[in-house]
A and B are shown apart, each in its own frame.
Chain A
Amino acid sequence: MNFGFSEEQELLRQEVRKFLDEQCPIEEVRRIAETPDGYASEQWKQLGELGWLGLVIPERYGGSDLGWEELVVLLEETGRTLFPAPLISTTLAASAILASGNDAQKERWLPRIADGSCIGAPALIEESDVLGPAGIQLRGEPDGDGFVLRGEKRFVPDGAQANLVVVAFRTGDSEQDLSLSLIETSATGVSTEEVRTVDRTKRLATLKLDAVRVGPEAILGRPGGAAAAIADLLDRGAIAVTAEIIGASEGAHALTVQYAKDRVQFGSPIGRFQGVKHPLAEGYVDIEATKSLLYHAAWALDASPEDVAFSASKAKGLASEAFTRIGVTGIQLHGAVGYTEEYDIQLYLKRSKWARPMYGGEDYHYDRVATFGGI
């Protein structure tokens, strides 16, 4: 039993913090968020050089050969500073290829993801708030040894930035009859259209597929056999987003605590008043609880797969609920300045709007927790 990060993992955290402090302070975050791409390609290249884009990719494919615990460390830090980059999306694309891809697919894509020359994104959802198999209605029409896809995927994270999308589609009527395919966004018939997000550090797009042919070389795993892989991808997405939520919650909470110490009203710092300090204490309790759930879920991914779904849903359920509250508390305790563009707390509130439904909000995840818990 050892429920703590190793020295190497803590060292990684320090390195990531140093990089983000130097390369992407909050002024830079604000600047990048207003650019068309929403990320800085120079920084993206640096992340590749530092080995952080291939954190969970094996060494023989050019990765750092680490695990999801290390990924959690990285994402907590990028969440804390609201670092804008298609990091989670690309890591999930790599995870899908790692889990279901054949050697040729791994050799083709993983080294390019690890060195930063390929941005990936999962394209799973078609309808708001329908995450399960029922939400995947895009149909693959049989076409020789492959399929032809006609339709749309919505809420695709970093879809307009991606070179490669991992598209879920249906090959039969049975609920579980699902497939995953690798589609290059430069291919004929593929287009992406960015939709404007509240949180400009996070981008979403609609992916349009107009008679796009998917050959056998582009199918991940067995056609019609991807239901478990898609479920795994959604769980990994929930865990990755929870890690960024933890960092962002701590970031928002630290800003608010500092404000409560500095702001003087009625002759005293407002943090002395119980009406101010109690919601901050509750935020701390929520962050601590979510951290424990997150770390357990990340550990389970590599060490105890049968626990993943239940623990991922507990973590993301509480994270979605708590971060939303921490964002609101942050604005309210800042008072009028919290409503201004100038103060950074609003950036965290906006991040909570992105993070809450991403790979399932608390309604979706608590429903799963209830089912796993036998009710």
Chain B
Amino acid sequence: MDFNFEPEEEAFRAEVRKFIEENKPESFNPYGGRDQAVIEEWNRKLAEKHWIGFSWPKEEGGGGGSLLEQFILKEEMSAAKAPPLGSDFMGLQWVGPALIRHGTDEQKQRFLPDLLNSRSYWCTGYSEPDVGSDLASLTTRAVLDGDHYVVNGSKIWTTAAHVAQNIFLLVRTTTEDETRESRYGGITCLLAPMDTPGIEVRPINSLIGQHSFNQTFFNDVKVPLENRLGAEGEGWQVVMGALANERSGISESTGKERELEALKELARTSRKNGRPVLEDPSVRRQIAGFETRISAMRLNGLRYLTKQLNGQHPSSETSVNKAISNSLALAMSDLAMSFLGSEGQLAGAEQLRSLAMHGSVIGGGAPNIQRNIIAERILGLPKD
């Protein structure tokens, strides 16, 4: 084992730090109030370095960064509280990788440059009103009619559908009996421009009154055949590869480290019954438990990264970090609120963060779904 990075990797880390020092916008607030022009300038400089889509192959316009370089880039950016590596999170996180893996040359040329240069936003049509965690039971239907599909149905929790140019859409293309095999086999992935006639977006406000997701309706929407990603019936494979990307969690620990620093600061200044909360050994112990698990997340990430470097695919193992991250988010928020006492009744920033936290825990697979994945795919327990 060797936890040291090679000289060339350390040199890359120094390059990233220098870039951040020279280019990180001062006024940027990670919790909102983003200045559009500042972010555009940041994205432009990132694109020059090929650090947006850094993991993608060079021939697709990406940065061709090695797994370790990606780790270093994300870790440094997160530690410096820099703005994200490109604004289109969903597009970069899984639409791009799916296009590279399954897309035709024409599709790649059409969509990848805009993604890399932050000229487009993607939204994702997975969940439906009656289809949440059990994604394979989706019912939005696409029927092939000559050179296009006709889509009817509805998607929900479509984040950014009101600003996106395109939707990465999962639909059902067969009508066989819904046995388990055909449930997976009958799913197809389509790429549809959001201005296609028949698409209607209705806002859904979150519990803190924020409009970030929507319900999206499809009424006889015509999607050209050339917009199908992968073969008909292969949508499940396309999307599972994409979700594994979402759950990889390699750099999640740096975000949690920052949250822990904020929690420690809150602990240092909080009092209960006139005494500092840090005099309570159980508070110290809880915080130490968080610190321990955050270290474990970072090390898990490196352990799975080593597996990848050795040519293995850390498929379901990525659920482990997502599970730790979820438990931490809930427990850390709970402790912060206990520090606030009566202040917790007021609508301040900390209180709103503790409410908004639920969205990030549920997104990408609710905690019990992660437990199911671990139990069934890793431990081999029978499916529900």
* Interface presence of A272 (CB below 8 A): yes
* Interface presence of A198 (CB below 8 A): no
* Interface presence of B368 (CB below 8 A): yes
A239-281 CB mask vs B (1 if < 8 Å, else 0) is 0000000000000000001001100000011011010111011
CB distance from A128 to the nearest CB of B (A): 17
- Kindly list chain A residues whose C-beta atoms are within 8 Å of the C-beta of B299: 3, 292-293, 295-296
CB–CB B288/A373 < 8 A = yes
Residue on B nearest A296 in the bound complex, by CB: B299
Interface of A is mostly: helix
- Kindly list chain B residues whose C-beta atoms are within 8 Å of the C-beta of A292: 296, 299-300, 302-303
Complex CA–CA separation, A303 to B300 (angstroms): 19
Interface residues of B in 252-305 (CB under 8 A from A): 264, 267-268, 278, 281, 284-285, 287-289, 291-293, 295-297, 299-300, 302-303, 305
Complex CA–CA separation, A320 to B324 (angstroms): 17
CB distance from A231 to the nearest CB of B (A): 18
CB distance from A2 to the nearest CB of B (A): 5
Task: From A261, A284, A298, A368, name the one whose CB has the most chain B CB atoms within 10 angstroms.
Answer: A284
CB–CB A284/B285 < 8 A = no
CB–CB B1/A257 < 8 A = no
* Interface presence of A19 (CB below 8 A): no
Q: Beyond A271-B382, A281-B323, A303-B3, is A289–B293 a contact (Cβ under 8 Å)?
A: yes
Task: From A277, A295, A311, name the one whose CB has the most chain B CB atoms within 10 angstroms.
Answer: A277
B350-384 CB mask vs A (1 if < 8 Å, else 0) is 00000000000000000010111011101111111
- Kindly list chain B residues whose C-beta atoms are within 8 Å of the C-beta of A299: 1-3
Partner of B288, one of A4, A69, A277, A370: A370
* Interface presence of B211 (CB below 8 A): no
- Kindly list chain B residues whose C-beta atoms are within 8 Å of the C-beta of A298: 1
Interface of B is mostly: helix
Partner of A318, one of B293, B302, B307, B371: B293
Task: From B375, B380, B384, name the one whose CB has the most chain A CB atoms within 10 angstroms.
Answer: B375
- Kindly list chain A residues whose C-beta atoms are within 8 Å of the C-beta of B300: 288-289, 292
* Interface presence of B145 (CB below 8 A): no
Q: Interface residue count for B (Cβ, 8 Å)? A: 51
Q: Beyond A260-B381, A261-B380, is A282–B287 a contact (Cβ under 8 Å)?
A: no
CB–CB A366/B292 < 8 A = yes
* Interface presence of B320 (CB below 8 A): yes
CB–CB B381/A257 < 8 A = yes
Complex CA–CA separation, A202 to B371 (angstroms): 34
CB distance from B295 to the nearest CB of A (A): 5
CB distance from B166 to the nearest CB of A (A): 36
Q: Beyond A2-B1, A278-B368, A367-B281, is A289–B379 a contact (Cβ under 8 Å)?
A: no
CB–CB A375/B307 < 8 A = no
CB–CB B284/A367 < 8 A = yes
CB–CB A282/B371 < 8 A = yes
CB–CB B381/A271 < 8 A = yes
* Interface presence of B342 (CB below 8 A): no
CB distance from A119 to the nearest CB of B (A): 30
CB–CB A274/B368 < 8 A = yes
Partner of B2, one of A1, A274, A317: A1
* Interface presence of B93 (CB below 8 A): no
* Interface presence of B306 (CB below 8 A): yes
CB–CB A284/B292 < 8 A = no
CB distance from B368 to the nearest CB of A (A): 7
- Kindly list chain A residues whose C-beta atoms are within 8 Å of the C-beta of B289: 317-318, 321, 366
Interface residues of A in 282-317 (CB under 8 A from B): 282, 284-285, 288-293, 295-296, 298-299, 303-304, 311, 314, 317
Q: Beyond A2-B1, A284-B378, is A373–B264 a contact (Cβ under 8 Å)?
A: yes
Complex CA–CA separation, A60 to B6 (angstroms): 32
B4-31 CB mask vs A (1 if < 8 Å, else 0) is 1110010000000000000000000000
CB–CB A268/B3 < 8 A = no
* Interface presence of A374 (CB below 8 A): yes
Complex CA–CA separation, A69 to B1 (angstroms): 8
Complex CA–CA separation, A318 to B328 (angstroms): 14
Complex CA–CA separation, A369 to B286 (angstroms): 10
Complex CA–CA separation, A311 to B6 (angstroms): 22
Partner of B292, one of A1, A295, A369: A369
- Kindly list chain B residues whose C-beta atoms are within 8 Å of the C-beta of A261: 380-382
CB–CB B371/A281 < 8 A = yes
CB distance from B265 to the nearest CB of A (A): 10
Residue on A nearest B268 in the bound complex, by CB: A375
Partner of A3, one of B1, B295, B324: B1
- Kindly list chain A residues whose C-beta atoms are within 8 Å of the C-beta of B320: 284-285, 288-289
Interface residues of B in 61-106 (CB under 8 A from A): 68
CB–CB B379/A1 < 8 A = no
* Interface presence of B310 (CB below 8 A): yes
Complex CA–CA separation, A268 to B383 (angstroms): 11
Complex CA–CA separation, A268 to B384 (angstroms): 10
Residue on A nearest B68 in the bound complex, by CB: A1
Complex CA–CA separation, A363 to B282 (angstroms): 9
Given A3-B306, A366-B289, 7 more A-B residue pairs with CB atoms under 8 Å apart are A1-B3, A3-B305, A288-B320, A289-B297, A314-B292, A321-B289, A370-B287
Top-4 shortest CB links A-B: A292-B299, A289-B296, A277-B375, A369-B288
